[in-house]
Structure 1
């Protein structure tokens, strides 16, 4: 991880414009801050998807296309704290389904908490944790004769550009066999007055979450970022449905990163792109999966029509 982190930071801060990968938000402090974000009144995404998993569990299970007596794997990419998935896991167990839950996450800290929580709450659950970047873990998904259901929730797809989403979905489809399914959770396109506060909350938790990335560079790579000389600066293109989070330099400054033996120059107002949060509608999803063997089977939405969980069949 440290070599990947160093290489990605060096590459991103040398680029024009500057970027940093959002996957590095998630150290122990970042995990805690993101849990706080999910509880914020402005952050509707988690509540909307939680409602789908809590209120439409039976219909969702039916849409997975599995039989109780036939074993299958339930693989969750970017599992996080597993709170949404818990409702699904609990109901699958109570209905007598034979399955193994495989949470995949870049954060070992999150996976340890998730494993301990599930062992306590669902002691009969069969679980196999997989730690690492799930884009890389896709290459190592075990060959199995069992059917697979992949969960890709939390609008994590929205952290990619459409071109990278197409490539990701194509790679994922090659790791699955005909009859496997993917549950894809995505945030819907909507007005800026709803979207922007979700990425710029009144308590400043999201700002702290994003700025923690600079703290991590300071700690792990010997960086000399002064957090007070940067600000969290989100933007949203309502027409195209793309939210982008930046860290903006408030002054002209030179930043030394000791582990890289490099100095990076920032001008006042220069921005580091740290996250893209794409919003979707069904036509956009159809374009993304157009060159894959996925087809849309079932679409679930929350009561306020803010969010979609889409069940895709791998032909």
Structure 2
């Protein structure tokens, strides 16, 4: 029995050393409670997000895909710029469905570049390293698994070529406005003068259209949020009863903030590793923000971070923009 207890304690200590555990405990011990949305993306979370992108109400993917398929030549012309060799770096690459449109065009037009996808999901990077050389013959690829800025610094150490950084899918919207501005400044700090950013941003539109995208009738968004609790159970020894939490989404058309919450349906206590977290009935966990902007605000964000706005590419509904910024 003593050896069993020692092994259990060792497991608890090992879990406690993980950054995931530290971030979860810090977030759930805060007032109000919150969880970091970057942890949505384990293997099951990746799969659910793919389902979400394909559901009827979730428009951002289709809008950005329209830009990439209908304006491929114009985008690539801007990316190639003077024709020098460059590194194309994608932050949060996912399955690279959208960027594949650009990659194929660049390869077909003999552009000299290396593709460096960056993702926190090891599953994603493994998938890209295996599949892209098959689907895009001739591609030079070096997948980087880790945090964005750590991997940007690693990319800079690998090569001194001009950098073209893609941050697509309105991932910038997963941060409050002040945090997003700080992120863009830090991005600028990790680039050299003349480097380029291609950033996808979801635009303000009819509030009902926005809210439906994060409260789909099939309940995929709910399952996507709940999966983070299930991941805590799987990886950190948590005992969340996920049936005791419900999903709630809200959108403020004035601020442009669309937010997702999980609501506790009862007074309850959840054990995670050696910690116990108490929830009151109707207490919420702040799960995610999906911030929307105007096209003018996108230019302001660029300038505030030290970039020069170069161009904006819109879908036919003007629901989404892919903007090109140059590091000044």
- TM-score per shorter chain, which class? over 0.9
Equivalent residue of 1:42, what SS?
coil
Quote the offset at 1:215 in angstroms. 0.2
* Higher radius of gyration, 1 or 2: 2
The residue number in structure 2 matching 1:106 is 120
Query: Residue 224 in 1 paired to residue 239 in 2?
Result: yes
Deviations 1:257-282 (A, max 9, x none): 1x2x1111111111101111000113
Q: State the alpha-carbon separation in 2 of the partners of residues 195 and 16 from structure 1.
A: 27
The residue number in structure 2 matching 1:281 is 294
Q: State the alpha-carbon separation in 2 of the partners of residues 210 and 64 from structure 1.
A: 35
**Matched-pair contact (CA < 8 Å) for 1:248–1:272:** yes
Where does the alignment leave 5 or more consecutive residues of structure 2 unmatched?
A: 1-14
The residue number in structure 1 matching 2:202 is 187
| Pick aligned residue for 2:304 from 269, 291, 297 | 291
The residue number in structure 1 matching 2:174 is 159
Quote the offset at 1:43 in angstroms. 0.5
The aligned length equals 312
Equivalent residue of 2:286, what SS?
strand
| Pick aligned residue for 1:40 from 39, 55, 70 | 55
Query: Residue 4 in 1 paired to residue 19 in 2?
Result: yes
Deviations 1:84-140 (A, max 9, x none): 001100000001101000000011111222222211111200000000121432343
Deviations 1:292-313 (A, max 9, x none): 3201100000011110000001
The residue number in structure 2 matching 1:247 is 262
The residue number in structure 2 matching 1:71 is 85
**Matched-pair contact (CA < 8 Å) for 2:149–2:190:** no
Q: State the alpha-carbon separation in 2 of the partners of residues 145 and 237 from structure 1.
A: 43
Alignment of 1:140-219 (within 5 A): 140-143=154-157, 144-219=159-234
The residue number in structure 2 matching 1:233 is 248
Quote the offset at 1:164 in angstroms. 1.1
Quote the offset at 1:141 in angstroms. 3.3
Quote the offset at 1:57 in angstroms. 0.3
**Matched-pair contact (CA < 8 Å) for 2:80–2:111:** no
Quote the offset at 1:238 in angstroms. 1.2
**Matched-pair contact (CA < 8 Å) for 1:296–1:312:** yes
Normalised by the length of structure 1, the TM-score is 0.96
**Matched-pair contact (CA < 8 Å) for 1:61–1:88:** yes
The residue number in structure 2 matching 1:270 is 283
| Pick aligned residue for 2:151 from 137, 148, 163 | 137
**Matched-pair contact (CA < 8 Å) for 2:128–2:143:** no
Quote the offset at 1:197 in angstroms. 1.1
Q: State the alpha-carbon separation in 1 of the partners of residues 312 and 300 from structure 2.
A: 16
Alignment of 1:23-102 (within 5 A): 23-68=38-83, 70-102=84-116
Quote the offset at 1:168 in angstroms. 1.0
**Matched-pair contact (CA < 8 Å) for 1:104–1:134:** yes
**Matched-pair contact (CA < 8 Å) for 2:207–2:253:** yes
Quote the offset at 1:166 in angstroms. 1.4
Q: After TM superposition, what 4+ stretches of structure 1 lie above 3 angstroms from structure 2? A: 138-141
Where does the alignment leave 5 or more consecutive residues of structure 1 unmatched?
A: none
User: Superposition RMSD on alpha carbons, in Å?
Assistant: 1.4
**Matched-pair contact (CA < 8 Å) for 1:190–1:241:** no
**Matched-pair contact (CA < 8 Å) for 2:302–2:309:** no
**Matched-pair contact (CA < 8 Å) for 2:207–2:251:** yes
Q: State the alpha-carbon separation in 2 of the partners of residues 272 and 154 from structure 1.
A: 24
Deviations 1:218-243 (A, max 9, x none): 11111110010001111111111110
**Matched-pair contact (CA < 8 Å) for 2:295–2:321:** no
Q: State the alpha-carbon separation in 1 of the partners of residues 260 and 177 from structure 2.
A: 17
